[in-house]
Amino acid sequence: MKLLKNFFTLVMVFTLIACSSDDDSVPYELNNTNLSAGSYGIQYLNIFDTETVNINGLDVVTEFSGTGETFQISFTFFENGTYIVDGEYVLNSTITVAGEVIEDNTIIIDVENETGNYTANNSLMQLVLDGEEVWDVTLFNENELRFSYNNIYTEGDVDFVESGEIRMVR
């Protein structure tokens, strides 16, 4: 009986050790192979830009905000480091100067097979488009890609703050 009890304990130990956990799965890596596994449809687009100019000691702030909708646009990455964007969407935008809305627009943006290059950096979770636009990847898995940008810079006497987010689904 003691032998049977020891054997049962041994089987239980091996069973517990042999069971794997879903927590041990390898994270989905941001690389050219995984990006090029299928085309993405854009689901969400939001941009916000601010320009500040000091005129005679007074800061004049111009703001642009835009939100996309009615997306019929695809974004395809290729394993060779190139991409193509094709389709159209509606962009609702507002321009405000010194707190006053000066322009509200709703326009259809038509993107016809625009191509470019990209670099995927898994360690920094960034995509660099066309060698200059750095996007922070906030979500990447088999089905979704989300990225955003935040830039603050000055050109001449104008201070710029730019931000945006794009969400895509395969």
Sequence-ordered strand ranges (E) for the chain: 40-55, 58-77, 82-97, 100-121, 126-129, 133-140, 144-155, 158-169
As a whole number, mean pLDDT of residues 96-116 equals: 95
> 13 falls in which pLDDT band (50, 70, 90)?
very low
Q: Domain segments of the chain: what residues?
A: 28-169
Ramachandran angles phi, psi of 22, nearest 5°: -65, -20
At residue 6, the pLDDT reads 45
* Cβ pair 65, 48 in contact under 8 A: yes
> 23 falls in which pLDDT band (50, 70, 90)?
low
Both tokens of residue 149? Answer: 């940008």
As a whole number, mean pLDDT of residues 124-130 equals: 94
Task: Give me the long-range contacts of 69-74 (CB less than 8 A, separation at least 24).
Answer: 71/41, 71/42, 71/43, 71/45, 73/41, 73/42, 73/111, 74/39, 74/40, 74/41, 74/42
At residue 25, the pLDDT reads 57
Q: How many CB atoms lie within 10 A of CB 11?
A: 10
> 38 falls in which pLDDT band (50, 70, 90)?
confident
d(CA 150, CA 138): 13
Please check the confidence at residue 27 and state whether its pLDDT lies above 80.
no
Average of per-residue pLDDT values in the chain: 88
Give the pLDDT confidence of 151-163 residue by residue, as tens digits: 999 999 999 999 9
